[in-house]
Structure 1
Amino acid sequence: MRKRILLLEDEQAIADTLLYALQSEGFEVRHVSLARQALEAFHDSPPDLAILDIGVPDGNGFDVCRAMRKSSELPIIFLTARSEEIDRVLGLELGADDYVVKPFSPREVCARVRAILRRSAGAVPATLPAAATGVLALDDQAQRITYAGELLALTRYEFLLLATLLRRPERIFSRTELMSLVWGDAPHTADRTVDAHVKLLRAKLRERGVQAEVIQTHRHMGYSLRLPGV
């Protein structure tokens, strides 16, 4: 069954380019140019992923994302001509999975869509071996992280950040190292984005019942991960 993509983009030339690229990859795409239409399409026939332009005539993609997040963990990618750090951080804090700044390569957008859909496809409860129960466990091949036998719903950069820390428990990573390892494909992202994502990860882990500060802050040094129960 073909994956359904909802595309909110008011610039027809950009929309046409993305429509062609995504449809060529086998996706079913519904294109709208207004925020109101995007929400109507979302409620009418929920897509598998949404690509939202931030600046549209009757609102913005941030508000559309907020509305969608009230009832869904739908994967979301933002498209925008803005490159300011505050916009990137706001989009990610709203729960976006990725952020693409114009001009961009349609093939790159397609690659990011495929990667996000592969990860979200596993975002359902799963049974793990008993040895993994009660601790964080990383499955690199499936690109997923579990806690107490249940998969964590993580955005792209949340997954990459937590996976990096999980591979080397107790090892302190500086912000510069994490920027290179996690945000290597987004060189214009500021290192304060690391702090924002650590905050988001801690909140998600607390929601799952992780009481201790699993992600440790080391003043003037960086971050490390202490496995629960260790």
Structure 2
Amino acid sequence: MRVLLIEDDDRVAGPLMEGLRRFGFAVEHARTGAEGLAAPEVAMVLLDLGLPDMDGIDVCRALRSRSSVPIIMITARDDEVDRVLGLELGADDYVSKPFGVRELVARIRAVTRRARPAVADPQCGSSKPSNSLDHPGTPDIRRIGPLTIDCRTRQVRLHRSSIALAPKEFDLLTCLAEDPGAVCSRRQILDTVWEPNFFGPTKTLDVHIAALRRKLGDASWIENIRGIGFRLVLPAPLDATSAATQARGGEIR
């Protein structure tokens, strides 16, 4: 995801950009409101309200007048009026300084889920996301083919059968399910599922991946991208030959 950070303080912007990039975001940086308004279109705007050339509230108003891009305000202001005004002008969320990168990433993902467009399902007259590998109408439930992940109840079902996962296994699955098909780096997964700057044995991730594959019943749910990380994908349908091979106990690669 391409993100525009409008922040004049390099002491804040530098570590923030580095942290976001570790989570897989491509970050553009603008130091003034004018630079931000002139920047190419992105998928998300992170907007500091205290800018040197113009008030962030005015930048928010200008962005919203021409675009529906999601906007998260970043503010050190204690006045509730500024936050309320920003939200009323069209900002989608805000974070107050100081804040952690993980909190900001969680808010980015939440805003993205809410902003994702839906298309009508002609068979049932309801709405569902335009990407069949993506989330349904509620942001708490994610569906990837026959796999359903309920983040609110922390329940997982595959072909409508419940799967019991350990807490870290569930967190690992939801991390991969944030963007099905996209590659999550090992560092990104460790930072998200365990903690930033995790220095435990790297084998920990591989052990949890192996356990999750076993519980999903098909190792091809989670692809290993050598030297980079992992991604969650729909297993290919079994043809007659493959099914026969599996029935004989053979391994399909």
What TM-score, normalized to structure 1? 0.53
Deviation for aligned residue 1:125: 3.3
Structure 1: gaps (5+ residues): 144-230
Query: 2:26 matched to 1:33?
Result: no
Q: Distance in 2 between matches of 1:5 and 1:129?
A: 36
Q: Which AA in structure 1 matches 2:30?
A: V
- Cα shift at 1:129: 5.2
- Decide which of 56, 75, 81 is 2:51's aligned counterpart: 56
Q: How far apart in 2 are the matches of 1:99 and 1:142?
A: 24
Higher relative contact order (CA 8 A, sep 6+): 1
Matches of residues 8-23 of structure 1 in structure 2 within 5 Å?
8-23=6-21
Structure 1 match to 2:120: 126
Contact 1:53–1:60 at 8 Å: present in 2 too?
no
CA RMSD, aligned part only?
A: 2.2
Distance, in Å, in 2 between the alignment partners of 1:132 and 1:51 is: 32
**Cα deviation, residue 112, structure 1:** 1.1
Q: Within 5 Å, which residues of 2 pair with 1:1-230?
A: 3-41=1-39, 45-120=40-115, 122-127=116-121, 130=124, 132=126, 139=138, 140-141=140-141
* Aligned equivalents of 1:29, 1:78: Cα separation in 2: 16
Highest CA radius of gyration, 1 or 2?
2
- Any idea what SS the aligned residue of 2:3 has? strand
**What is the identity percentage for the equivalent residue pairs of Structure 1 and Structure 2?**
46
- The amino acid across from 1:47 in the alignment is V
CA distance in 1, matches of 2:95, 2:111: 13
Deviations 1:3-40 (A, max 9, x none): 10000001111101210111101111001110000001
1:125 partner amino acid: V
SS of the equivalent of 1:78 reads strand
Offset at residue 85 of structure 1 (A): 1.5
In structure 1, the partner of 2:208 is none
Partner of 1:46: helix, strand, or coil? coil
State the distance in 1 between where 2:30 and 2:125 align: 48
CA drift at 1:68: 1.1
Task: Describe the superposition over 1:164-189 as per-residue Cα deviations: whole angstroms up to 9, x where unpaired.
Answer: xxxxxxxxxxxxxxxxxxxxxxxxxx
3-state SS of paired residue (2:41): coil
| TM-aligned CA deviation for residue 118 of structure 1 | 2.8
Deviation per CA, 1:113-169, whole angstroms, max 9, x where unpaired?
Answer: 12222332x324333654659xxx9635259xxxxxxxxxxxxxxxxxxxxxxxxxx
Distance (Å, rounded) in 2 between the aligned partners of 1:72 and 1:93: 15
Question: Residue 67 and residue 81 in structure 1: after superposition, are their counterparts in 2 closer, same or farther (change >3 A)?
Answer: same
Normalised by the size of structure 2, how large is the TM-score? 0.49
